[in-house]
Amino acid sequence: MRDVFTANTLKGRKALVFGASRGLGRASAEQLAAMGADVVLLARSTERLRLVAGELQRKYGVATTIEAADLVDEAALNAVLRRHADTDLLITNCGGPPVGPYLQTPLADWDAAYRQIVRSVVQATQALLPHMAARGFGRVVMIASRTVRHPLALMAISNSLRKALLGIAETIADEFGEKGITANLVCPGLTRTERMTEVLAARARNAGKSEDELLAEMLRPIAAGRVGQPREIAATVGFLCTDVAGYIQGQCLLVDGGHKL
Ligand SMILES: NC(=O)c1ccc[n+]([C@@H]2O[C@H](COP(=O)([O-])OP(=O)(O)OC[C@H]3O[C@@H](n4cnc5c(N)ncnc54)[C@H](OP(=O)(O)O)[C@@H]3O)[C@@H](O)[C@H]2O)c1
Sheet containing 252-255: which strands, arranged edge to edge?
64-68, 38-43, 14-18, 89-92, 138-143, 181-188, 252-255
Whether residue 99 is contained in a domain is answered as: yes
CA of 110 to the centre of ligand 1 (A): 17
Mean pLDDT of 225-251: 98
**Does residue 6 sit within a domain?**
no
43 CA: nearest ligand 1 atom = 34
Residue 210: Cβ-neighbour burial (10 angstroms; 0-12, 13-18, 19+) = exposed
Calculate mean pLDDT across residues 88-93: 99
Query: Are 152 and 240 contained in the same domain?
Result: yes
- Gap from CA of 194 to ligand 1 centroid (Å): 9
Closest-lying ligand 1 atom to the alpha carbon of residue 97: 47
Ligand 1 atom with the smallest distance to the CA of 21 is 43
pLDDT for position 261: 72
Residue 215 lies in a domain: yes
Give the separation between CA 51 and CA 31, rounded to whole angstroms. 16
Measured from the Cβ of residue 93, the count of other Cβ atoms closer than 10 Å reads 27
Does 132 share its domain with 196? Answer: no
Instruction: Residue 216: count other Cβ atoms within 10 Å of its Cβ.
Output: 11
Examine the domain organization and report whether 175 and 202 are in the same domain: no
Please indicate, yes or no, whether residues 180 and 240 belong to a single structural domain of this protein.
yes
Written as one letter, the residue type at 12 is G
**Are residue 213 and residue 202 in the same domain, yes or no?**
yes
Per-position DSSP letters for 25-40, written without gaps between them: HHHHHHHHHHTT-EEE
What is the DSSP-derived secondary structure letter of residue 114?
Answer: I
Q: Is residue 59 part of a domain?
A: yes
Domain-embedded: residue 2? no
Sign (positive or negative) of CA dihedral 161, 130, 180, 171: positive
> Which residue's C-alpha comes closest to atom 14 of ligand 1?
23
Q: For residue 260, what pLDDT is reported?
A: 84
Distance (Å) from CA 94 to ligand 1 centroid: 4
**Judgement on whether residues 175 and 62 belong to the same structural domain of the protein:** yes
Task: Tell me, yes or no, whether 77 lies in a domain.
Answer: yes
* Per-residue pLDDT reduced to its tens digit, 129-181: 999 999 999 999 999 999 999 998 889 999 999 999 999 999 999 999 999 99
Atom of ligand 1 nearest to the CA of 228: 3
Instruction: Provide the 3-class DSSP secondary structure of residue 187.
Output: strand
Q: Tally the domains of the chain.
A: 2
Cα 23 to averaged position of ligand 1 atoms, centre (Å): 7
Q: For residues 198 and 116, which has the higher predicted lDDT (pLDDT)? A: 116
Same domain, yes or no, for 73 and 114? yes
What are the Cα distances from residue 37, in Å, to 120, 166, 181? 23, 26, 17
Residue 63 inside a domain? The answer is yes
CB 165 within 8 A of CB 47: no
CA terminus-to-terminus distance, the chain: 34
Q: Is residue 4 situated within a structural domain?
A: no
Helix axes 230-240, 23-34, angle to 10 degrees: 50
Q: Tell me, what's the pLDDT at 154?
A: 87
Question: In terms of C-beta density within 10 A (0-12 exposed, 13-18 middle, 19 or more buried), how is residue 225 classed?
Answer: exposed
In this structure, the answer to whether residues 154 and 74 fall within a common structural domain is yes
Neighbours of 170 (CB within 10 A): 17
Note the pLDDT of residue 53.
98
Instruction: Tell me: do 104 and 197 sit in the same domain.
Output: no
Instruction: Specify whether 73 is located in the same domain as 196.
Output: no
CATH of the domain at 41: 3.40.50.720
Model confidence at 54: pLDDT above 70: yes
The sign one gets for the Cα dihedral 220, 223, 226, 232 is negative
- For ligand 1, residues with CB inside 6 Å are 19-25, 43-45, 48, 70-72, 93-96, 116, 143, 145, 188, 190-191, 193-196
Q: Are residues 121 and 209 in the same domain?
A: no
Domain span at residue 223?
A: 192-227
CB atoms within 10 A of CB 166: 20
Residues 51 and 105 grouped into a single domain:
yes
**Which residues pair with residue 191 across a beta bridge?**
228
